[in-house]
Structure 1
Amino acid sequence: MKLKDVFEKSVQFFKEKKIETARLDAELLISAALKFDRLQIYLKYEQPLSEAEVTACREVVRRRSQGEPVAYILGERGFYGEMFKVGAGVLIPRPETEMIVEEALEFLKTKAEHFTENNPPRILDLGAGTGCIGFSILKNHPTATLISVEKSPEAFSYLKQNQELLGLSDRSQLILADALDAQLSNQLSGPLSGQKFDVIVANPPYIASDDQQTEENVRKFEPASALFAPDAGFSALEQWSSHYQPALNAGGLMLFEMGYTQGLRMQAHFEGLASFANVQVLKDLSGLDRIIKALNN
């Protein structure tokens, strides 16, 4: 069987399965199965495949046809110019989350005169998952330091892999714990006791468990603990921001991703916290509420 036959049959099969990105998914998966880049598919279109190669292609097509995300099959996902290891048990990075990185880097740029070699910017990433937010900030700010907190052992394993792959072990500390664990509270003893941060970022679970807009395959394959939260999705957003606001330096920045219907309540919540000023709801490229941004007095 030739490569073109396997590829075109895969595209058609994905279309029959109502996969909107049928050709792109086929390009990514077939090229990965055959261990070459996407362009080679068309350069080697007439090339015969061995039985082992056909079997490898069939396996990735089978997995995708059952709804498994392409990122899980490939084992990686691009985010803010870097590749992050992903797999079952960790949330797949989304493009809209890059807004947090952009806002954090712009903030650090405007505050550059406040930092020195002995006083570098300090970042806290809550519910870090793959580490895509915190590590992306570090990759683009050569002196910043980071503490990442993640409670899921499965997600933590990817967090550790990405820290090592990106060469950031010397500037980041990883903590396996719930963000609301008393040991981590700034009010009690523990790893974060007495520590202050210039930027606190998070992409917490913010979807209501009964939300009807969540895609079936997202529910099926991605970790519920990273997606869904009690109180119509507001629980982690409100509790994490309340707990960690005292750990923010004067003039520091807090950035949380949220759902597109949560802007009004989150703005009121942040404005109700003691020392936050200049609270803003930022919209994504689709014009939907996406990030809650607040400066500490």
Structure 2
Amino acid sequence: MIDWTIIKLLTWTKSYFKDHCIDSPRLTAEILLGFSLGIRRLDLYLQHDRPLEKAELTRFKTLLKRRIGREPVAYITGEKGFYESDFQVKKGVLIPRPDTEVMVETAIGLLGRGKAVSGEKKVLELGVGSGAIVISLAKACPGHVYFGCDLSSVALETAKQNAVLLAETPIRFFQGSWLDAVDLRESFDLILSNPPYIPTRDIQDLAPEIKLHEPMLALDGGGDGLDSIREIVDRARACLVPGGTLLIEMGFDQQEGVAAIVETFFEYEPIEFIKDLAGHTRLVVVRKMG
């Protein structure tokens, strides 16, 4: 019978994941074993020769099966790092991506990092998911008034929990589809959204971790992937203050389509596109005429 020490189990798991085409096999093995044992990844190596008890092996085997079933690591561990914080996530909530951090950085540039000194601004995120964007902003730029909405009750509850854990600045959450639940008498200086933008026909080509586990509500953007973007761009005109800004994440190949949508509305100034760290066009910046 094998005496399963931490290092032996890590080595075996890495090979097992590699044979099953799991991305980053060594890193994934470390994250799951550390999570299973309740210790840091560093401690795995500090305790590399510690033998595991039967109950510990059984618990880890359960996590291993979930990952082989292509369940995302973030759903297994219940959290995902984004920007400067770790956010709770669970089934039914879109997992935050590093690509989206460019939206946070751009918004911080507009609001100014640190406590507001030139008057508070009203900020609204449409489709908050885990709350990663609006909470990251509220932490970096306190002193403004923050709102977040989502159609999904699971996502909204998760965002509220994350806000309690991470944000000192209050965030007002409400449920609704895009701007349906927004009082049209309200006006916002900044509206942000990471809407679904994957064309329906492309969903089947996504990695199993995404198409089998993450919420379609947050992925499927309709025939050309731009259905939600059309609605947001159209309806945001009534909710932005003159000179206000709309930030929308989009697919790397959707620049031409998004530009055509925005250009149909005279209320907007010429748009700007921003690339992510990988060099892909990721964000559209739309300003309402002042």
Listed as ranges, the gaps of 5+ residues in structure 1 are 185-190
Q: Deviations over 1:137-167 (max 9, x none)?
A: 1100011111101001111121111111113
State the Cα distance separating 1:114 from its structure 2 match: 8.1
State the Cα distance separating 1:213 from its structure 2 match: 4.3
Q: How does 1:123-272 map to 2 (within 5 A)?
A: 123-168=123-168, 171-181=170-180, 184=181, 191-211=182-202, 213-272=205-264
Work out the CA distance in 2 between the residues paired with 1:114 and 1:13: 54
State the Cα distance separating 1:88 from its structure 2 match: 0.2
State the Cα distance separating 1:6 from its structure 2 match: 1.6
Q: Deviations over 1:95-134 (max 9, x none)?
A: 0101111111101129x99832xxx111010011111111
1:52 aligned partner = 55
Matched to 1:155, the amino acid is A
Question: Residue 276 of structure 2 is aligned with which of 271, 284, 297?
Answer: 284
SS of 2:284's partner is strand
Work out the CA distance in 1 between the residues paired with 2:196 and 2:116: 35
1:14 and 2:17 matched = yes
Question: Residue 5 of structure 1 is aligned with which of 5, 8, 11?
Answer: 8
Work out the CA distance in 2 between the residues paired with 1:163 and 1:286: 29
Q: Deviations over 1:11-69 (max 9, x none)?
A: 11100111120000011110010001001111111111111111121111111111010
Instruction: Name the CA shift for 1:98/1:16 in 2 (closer, same or farther; >3 Å).
Output: same
Work out the CA distance in 2 between the residues paired with 1:65 and 1:14: 7
Work out the CA distance in 2 between the residues paired with 1:272 and 1:18: 45
Tell whether the 8 Å contact from 1:144 to 1:171 is kept in structure 2 after alignment: no
1:63 aligned partner = 66
Work out the CA distance in 2 between the residues paired with 1:35 and 1:255: 39
With normalisation by structure 2, the TM-score equals 0.93
Tell whether the 8 Å contact from 1:267 to 1:280 is kept in structure 2 after alignment: no
Matched to 1:204, the amino acid is P
Work out the CA distance in 1 between the residues paired with 2:260 and 2:224: 16
SS of 1:62's partner is helix
1:108 aligned partner = 111
Aligned residues: 284
1:188 aligned partner = none
Tell whether the 8 Å contact from 1:79 to 1:95 is kept in structure 2 after alignment: yes
Which runs of at least 4 in structure 1 moved beyond 3 Å after TM superposition?
112-115
Question: Residue 99 of structure 2 is aligned with which of 96, 100, 124?
Answer: 96
State the Cα distance separating 1:216 from its structure 2 match: 2.4
Q: CA RMSD in A?
A: 1.7
Instruction: Name the CA shift for 1:287/1:167 in 2 (closer, same or farther; >3 Å).
Output: closer
Identical amino acids, percent of aligned pairs: 33
State the Cα distance separating 1:270 from its structure 2 match: 1.4
Work out the CA distance in 1 between the residues paired with 2:96 and 2:126: 15
State the Cα distance separating 1:278 from its structure 2 match: 3.2
Tell whether the 8 Å contact from 2:201 to 2:223 is kept in structure 1 after alignment: no
Tell whether the 8 Å contact from 1:267 to 1:281 is kept in structure 2 after alignment: no
Listed as ranges, the gaps of 5+ residues in structure 2 are none
Q: Deviations over 1:255-291 (max 9, x none)?
A: 0000111111101211222221130122222222211
With normalisation by structure 1, the TM-score equals 0.91
